[in-house]
Structure 1
Amino acid sequence: MTKFLLSLHVLAAVLTVGPVTVAASMFPRFLRHALGSPGDGPALASLSTLHRICRVYAGIGVAVPLFGFATASSLGVLGSAWLIVSIVLTTAAAAVLALWILPAQETALAGVEERAEAVADSPLPRRLAMLTGVFNLLWATVTVLMIIRPGSTTGA
């Protein structure tokens, strides 16, 4: 059962976190393009699609920690330091996405749709790029911790 849960956990991570990290990383670039070309329909459609990918896959991504907790419980490692740090970092990544990236994307999308000058002159594209970098760095760190499992006694 542990191998099955671990497989579900890894698949959920690859299939949900991967698309969010890519779409969120692409959003600032497409936002700069849309701001530089007001009225560009394809650019607006791309922004809308990237935001929808981030929003939908973030919701589905809740399966990752659920399968992760089930796997950790099955392995008997719920109290391990590497897992606790991974949980904290995963929570931080989720907070960055839910509290800053997704709302900033919504603001940017609304501003581009309305051709708002406030968005065009704002540091929003840079801020989104920075937040996405933090989000991606948190996930990369969690991934490394999941693979290396420092101090683990369950084998590597």
Structure 2
Amino acid sequence: MRRIPAVLAIFVLVVASTGLSLFWAAPANATSPYTTERSGYNGRCLDADLNTMGTNGGKVQLWDCNGQPQQSWTPLRDATIRSANARCLDADLNRIGFNGVKVQLWDCNGQPQQRWFLQEDGSIRSGYNGRCLDADLATLGANGTKIQLWDCNGQIQQKWTTE
């Protein structure tokens, strides 16, 4: 019986002298939890409009990439994509059954219109209806391009690159 406590004491000593320091050490290549979502069409970034990002219904748009917090997004395990101010990417329920529904910022509530799934082809699908996150072709050439849901069609305005 004395042998078990001695082995246990040695194990605890080894873990205490090496294992804990490794456990608590930060990784040498620690990275930010934020990502940038770039449009496959023109390389502009998914952007939360500075004038409205603090309110429910805040505008989500494409804008020239600038590295600012309004272009920082965190995809989480619950399938939400959160802005730097912790609001969720959300499809407007008032028109969710139609192409062209507005994608906006909203307080996170765990509902399906706030769930998003990245596909192998680079598209991002809504957890509510399977439609794709889409940059509006009518305004695609300029900053402020509307982000909407549209039937998935494989076109470049529905492709996204996560960085």
Which of the five TM-score ranges fits, normalised by the shorter chain? Answer: under 0.3
Quick check: which one's strand share is greater?
2
What TM-score results when the alignment is normalised by the length of structure 2? 0.23
What TM-score results when the alignment is normalised by the length of structure 1? 0.23
Higher relative contact order, structure no. (Cα contacts within 8 Å, ≥ 6 residues apart): 1
Q: Which has the larger radius of gyration?
A: 2
Quick check: which one's helix share is greater?
1
